[in-house]
């Protein structure tokens, strides 16, 4: 009691309760927020009350910076990035915001004084799962880096009421559960009911002649919904800049109920209200778009239109004209999901702001930039024309006009090459007439980029070959990156502390290439031992937590071999499984002492409709069930499926990995970012020459990377020559016996039908060439085991991985976008 009193009066004398950063002020502010915001005493506060009080305490400290940032950007009319993304997988905010404000230590001391368990409070936070995986997580890392680099930016997206489903494992199968992340309240967002735009759907278009005698088009939508802004602050690390993440929620316009009341159509009004609110209700849980899902196209148009109208509002309030719109905003389209921005910006400029078409096109094209994220043909988004016509009739007109103008240019450049015209058209005429969203984005953007060097090259030679021939100067590469604030400082504090000690300061947190200061110490056996102790501590933490979560507590001295990412055939979790089965067979024939003890950990969600991915999850669990309980194995082998892989859980995995599995078929993974997070935390990579693996290997050195498998070129050749997996199966003895083992029913209580679809697929189709790469993979894994036995050498390689990983900071990626694509400069904010 008496300590509290002194702390309070001392704080009063020193700094304001809502902005001060000292321990004493935090203690007071926490108590005030618990009482005045939550209306709770400590004695009756629930764990979530405590979290909310902590969150409001941290949020208070960001608000002044946030307002100052907005004011600074407005006063200087700063060029601003508008990052349009259907997904932002931002993860829990409390711990990260404390890191960025530099108050982690003060908060720990405050918690101690209040007799609170800060770790437990952090654990209480529910993460906003507003993304599927890598693409949404990339958007979140980029928001972090833009704020840290002091680049004015607004992230625009959708405030899904239900994010990515929670994954439960029941009887080895994935079961999806709705993600009710908002049920206890979200302290980070601020609802802005006045920032609200009416968004139309359907209806028809009308021609009219304006007072100047100019013929114009008007869209008369049949349905209108409101898009309302919810704002989340995104602070930079160690700077005053706080940027804005603005997510849109759909609501029925108020007039609805009233209208219906008058006409007596009460149920009709209720239905319309539900229909309006459905738009931002749920995230589509697919990595790649499902064909023809009308609601998804509605979601895309909804958030794109809200965002563009918001930008137009800001620009008009600042300058009163839209003539410099493209100088004010650099719009980045994160994949094809926001491609409609091209058509919608044209409509807003031409129809609503009465700009001549040519000028509007100039502005649109100069404002937009497009990031392509995939080479998988099935993931290239297209929409049926008739759906477009029904939902967005005016936009279809505009797309036809853009297409006609563009194809005229194609005909000029490639005289009468009709085949090329067909390939480049925004309309695919071969599959029942569909709009090609990647083409719309590419035609409407002044820059197009891939997300790793290999991917950008493959884009130019495959899916965007014709565009590249048409406008080669628009093509760029920006290799992805991840934020070291979340994936090192926050999630691996022991490693961060050790690195800071060796480097002499913590500049590496904002200048990740400073990690190279570790390099001269890689041979220092004292450091190697401390490095290993840090890793073992993280493995012990994970092991204990897995014990609670799954009932299996692996030995922290075993090699932790982790594959955590969406479950997808191209990512080849089943290749990993075949290696596990090979080790199991070895134990069965040569005893458990014949292998280096390993713990295999898998994590990842499967799209609910992706049957083969779900069967792979079942197989992982079934194999684990047998191996983990086989006395002959005696703990030398563990196979654990960690349920519900998300950002929060990812943060437990990366620090604890010895080996990172990045084993996709070469040419299929655009970049990958999990590969970077693992390596940053000292895991060595076993991987193919795919995505950013290529560059990671270049950076860390071939001798510190376990490479196997065909190159992208070899994959193409092999496929062209006619790939026959059955020939491999029938002639390659270890492969045959491993596949037969799955088919035998050993892992399915004698049921030989259960895994048949998987087995048959591998033997007869094997679209991702698991069998073709298996031998090389097995051999490489044997090499891994051999190297792991020399602990000092392994730690040396681990230190070198971290020392040379600087390139893969999202700060470097954002720097490249800023200089080469957006032409935008930092705008420092002072308090």
- Applying CB under 6 A, the residues found at the interface with ligand PLP are 133-134, 137, 565-566, 645-647, 650, 672-674, 677
CB of 606 to ligand PLP, least distance (A): 13
Which residues lie closer than 8 Å to 77 by C-beta, 6 or more apart?
318, 319, 328
User: What does the DSSP 8-state code read for residue 41?
Assistant: -
Q: At what angle do helices 756-764 and 611-628 cross, to 10 degrees?
A: 110
Catalytic residue among 148, 673, 685, 688: 673
Burial class (CB in 10 A: 0-12, 13-18, 19+), 585: middle
Which residues lie closer than 8 Å to 798 by C-beta, 6 or more apart?
531, 535, 682, 683, 684
Three-state SS string across 780-808, please?
HHHHHHHHHCCHHHHHHHHHHHHHCCHHH
CB of 480 to ligand PLP, least distance (A): 8
Cβ-based neighbour number of residue 819 at 10 Å: 11
CB of 491 to ligand PLP, least distance (A): 10
Residue for token digits 């050498």? 793
Nearest to ligand PLP of 251, 773 (CB atom): 773
CB of 479 to ligand PLP, least distance (A): 13
CB of 676 to ligand PLP, least distance (A): 8
Catalytic residue among 565, 572, 614, 807: 565
CB of 549 to ligand PLP, least distance (A): 16
Nearest to ligand PLP of 558, 673 (CB atom): 673
Q: Token pair of 502, please?
A: 């060796």
Residue for token digits 């020459």? 689
Nearest to ligand PLP of 382, 671 (CB atom): 671
Catalytic: 677?
yes
CB of 452 to ligand PLP, least distance (A): 11
Nearest to ligand PLP of 567, 818 (CB atom): 567
Three-state SS string across 523-548, please?
CCHHHHHHHHHHHHHHHHHHHHHHHH
Catalytic: 373?
yes
Nearest to ligand PLP of 138, 435 (CB atom): 138
Nearest to ligand PLP of 337, 677 (CB atom): 677
Q: Token pair of 685, please?
A: 């990579």
Q: What does the alpha-carbon distance between residue 229 and residue 154 come to, in Å, rounded to a whole number?
A: 12
User: Which residues are registered as beta bridge partners of 233?
Assistant: 244
Q: Token pair of 169, please?
A: 């494992």
CB of 681 to ligand PLP, least distance (A): 12
| H-run or E-run covering 435 | strand 434-436
Catalytic: 673?
yes
CB of 132 to ligand PLP, least distance (A): 8
Nearest to ligand PLP of 155, 481 (CB atom): 481
Catalytic: 598?
no
Are residues 807 and 480 in contact, defined by beta-carbon separation less than 8 angstroms?
Answer: no
Residue nearest to ligand PLP (CB): 674
Catalytic residue among 23, 436, 566, 812: 566
Catalytic: 514?
no
Q: What does the alpha-carbon distance between residue 315 and residue 152 come to, in Å, rounded to a whole number?
A: 14
Task: State the first-to-last Cα distance of the chain, in angstroms, to the nearest integer.
Answer: 35
User: What does the DSSP 8-state code read for residue 353?
Assistant: S
Are residues 713 and 817 in contact, defined by beta-carbon separation less than 8 angstroms?
Answer: no
Catalytic residue among 298, 326, 328, 571: 571
Catalytic residue among 373, 474, 539, 598: 373
Determine how β-strand 190-201 pairs with β-strand 382-384: unpaired
Which residues lie closer than 8 Å to 426 by C-beta, 6 or more apart?
399, 402, 403, 406, 435, 436, 439, 440, 443
If phi > 0 it is left, if psi is from -120 to 50 it is alpha, else beta; for residue 624 that is alpha
Nearest to ligand PLP of 139, 495 (CB atom): 139
Q: Taking Cα atoms as reference points, which of 446, 442, 444, 406 lies closest to residue 422?
A: 406
Catalytic residue among 328, 579, 677, 697: 677
CB of 55 to ligand PLP, least distance (A): 21
Determine how β-strand 368-371 pairs with β-strand 329-334: parallel
Residue positions counted in the chain:
831
CB of 657 to ligand PLP, least distance (A): 12
Greatest pairwise CA separation for the chain in angstroms: 90
- Angle, CA 795 vertex, CA 792 and CA 799 arms, to 5°: 135
User: Which residues are registered as beta bridge partners of 384?
Assistant: 434
Are residues 692 and 672 in contact, defined by beta-carbon separation less than 8 angstroms?
Answer: yes
Three-state SS string across 561-587, please?
EEEECCCCHHHCHHHHHHHHHHHHHHH
Are residues 26 and 60 in contact, defined by beta-carbon separation less than 8 angstroms?
Answer: no
CB of 804 to ligand PLP, least distance (A): 19
CB of 720 to ligand PLP, least distance (A): 27
User: Which residues are registered as beta bridge partners of 427?
Assistant: 435
Rounded to the nearest 5 percent, the helix, strand and coil shares of the chain are 55, 15, 30
Q: Token pair of 768, please?
A: 């991702």
Nearest to ligand PLP of 249, 373 (CB atom): 373
Active site residues: 373, 565-566, 571, 673, 677
């Amino acid at each position: 009691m008496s300590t509290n009193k002194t702390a309070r009066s001392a704080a009063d004398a020193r700094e304001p309760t809502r902005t001060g950063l000292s321990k004493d002020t935090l203690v007071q502010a926490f108590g005030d927020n618990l009482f005045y915001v939550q209306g709770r005493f400590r004695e009756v506060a629930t764990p979530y009350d405590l979290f909310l009080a902590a969150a409001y305490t941290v949020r208070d400290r960001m608000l002044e910076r946030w307002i100052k940032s907005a004011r600074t950007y407005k006063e200087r009319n700063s060029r601003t990035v508008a990052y349009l993304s259907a997904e932002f997988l931002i993860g829990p905010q409390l711990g990260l915001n404390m890191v960025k404000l530099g108050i982690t230590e003060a908060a720990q001391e405050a918690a101690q004084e209040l007799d609170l368990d800060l770790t437990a409070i952090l654990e209480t936070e529910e993460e906003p799962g507003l993304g599927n995986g890598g693409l949404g997580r990339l958007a979140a890392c980029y928001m972090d880096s833009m704020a840290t680099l002091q680049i004015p930016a607004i992230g625009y997206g959708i405030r899904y009421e239900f994010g990515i489903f929670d994954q439960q494992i029941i009887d080895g199968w994935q079961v999806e559960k709705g993600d009710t992340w908002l049920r206890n309240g979200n302290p980070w967002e601020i609802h802005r009911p006045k920032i609200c735009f009416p968004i139309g759907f359907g209806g028809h278009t009308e021609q009219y002649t304006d007072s100047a005698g100019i013929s114009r088009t008007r869209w008369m939508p049949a349905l209108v919904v409101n898009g309302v802004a919810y704002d989340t602050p995104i602070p930079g690390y160690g700077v005053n800049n706080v940027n804005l993440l603005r997510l849109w929620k759909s609501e029925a316009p108020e007039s609805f109920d009233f209208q219906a009341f008058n006409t007596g159509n009460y149920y009709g009004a209720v239905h319309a209200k539900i229909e309006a609110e459905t738009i931002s209700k749920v995230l589509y849980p697919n990595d790649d778009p499902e064909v023809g899902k009308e609601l998804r196209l509605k979601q895309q148009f909804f958030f794109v239109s809200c965002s563009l109208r918001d930008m137009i509002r800001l620009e008009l309030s600042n300058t009163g004209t839209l003539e410099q719109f493209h100088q004010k905003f650099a719009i980045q389209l994160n994949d094809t999901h926001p491609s409609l921005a091209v058509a919608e910006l044209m409509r807003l400029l031409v129809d609503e702001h009465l700009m001549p078409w040519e000028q509007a096109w100039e502005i649109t094209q100069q404002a937009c930039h497009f990031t392509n994220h995939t080479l998988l043909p099935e993931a290239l988004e297209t929409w049926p024309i008739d759906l477009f016509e029904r939902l967005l009739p005016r936009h279809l007109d505009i797309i036809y006009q853009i297409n006609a103008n563009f194809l005229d240019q194609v005909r000029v450049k490639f005289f009468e090459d009709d085949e090329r015209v067909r390939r480049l058209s925004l309309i695919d005429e071969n599959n029942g007439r569909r709009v090609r969203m990647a083409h719309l984005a590419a035609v409407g953007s002044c820059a197009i980029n891939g997300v790793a060097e290999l991917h950008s090259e493959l884009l130019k030679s495959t899916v965007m070959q014709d565009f590249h021939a048409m406008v080669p100067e628009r093509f760029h590469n920006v290799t992805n990156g991840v934020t070291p604030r979340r994936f090192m400082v926050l999630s691996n504090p022991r490693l961060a502390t050790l690195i800071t000690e060796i480097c002499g300061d913590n500049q590496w947190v904002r200048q990740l290439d400073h990690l190279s200061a570790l390099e001269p110490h890689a041979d220092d056996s004292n450091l190697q031992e401390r490095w290993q102790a840090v890793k073992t501590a993280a493995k012990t933490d994970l092991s204990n937590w897995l014990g609670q979560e799954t009932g299996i507590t692996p030995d922290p001295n075993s090699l932790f071999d982790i594959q955590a990412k969406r479950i997808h055939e191209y990512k080849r979790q089943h290749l990993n499984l075949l290696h596990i089965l090979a080790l199991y067979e070895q134990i069965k024939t040569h005893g458990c002492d014949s292998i280096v003890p390993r713990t295999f950990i898998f994590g990842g969600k499967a799209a609910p409709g992706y049957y083969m991915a779900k069967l792979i999850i079942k197989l992982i669990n079934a194999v684990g069930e047998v191996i983990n309980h086989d006395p002959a194995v005696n703990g030398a082998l563990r196979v654990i499926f960690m349920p519900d892989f998300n950002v929060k859980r990812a943060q437990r995995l990366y620090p604890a990995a010895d080996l990172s599995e990045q084993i996709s078929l070469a040419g299929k993974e655009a970049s990958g970012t999990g590969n970077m997070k693992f390596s940053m935390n000292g895991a060595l990579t076993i991987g193919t020459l795919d995505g950013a693996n290529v560059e990671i290997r270049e950076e860390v050195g071939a001798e510190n990377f376990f490479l196997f498998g065909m190159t992208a070129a070899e994959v193409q050749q092999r496929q062209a020559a006619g790939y026959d997996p059955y020939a491999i199966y029938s002639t390659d003895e270890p492969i045959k016996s491993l596949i037969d083992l799955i088919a035998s029913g050993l892992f399915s209580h004698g049921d030989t039908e259960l895994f048949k679809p998987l087995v048959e697929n591998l033997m007869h189709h094997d679209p991702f060439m698991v069998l073709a790469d298996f031998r090389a993979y097995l051999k490489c894994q044997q090499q891994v085991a051999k190297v792991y036995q020399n602990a000092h050498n392994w730690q040396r390689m681990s230190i070198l991985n971290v020392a040379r990983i600087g390139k893969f900071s999202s700060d470097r990626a954002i720097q490249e976008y800023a200089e080469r694509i957006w032409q935008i400069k930092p705008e420092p904010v002072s308090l």
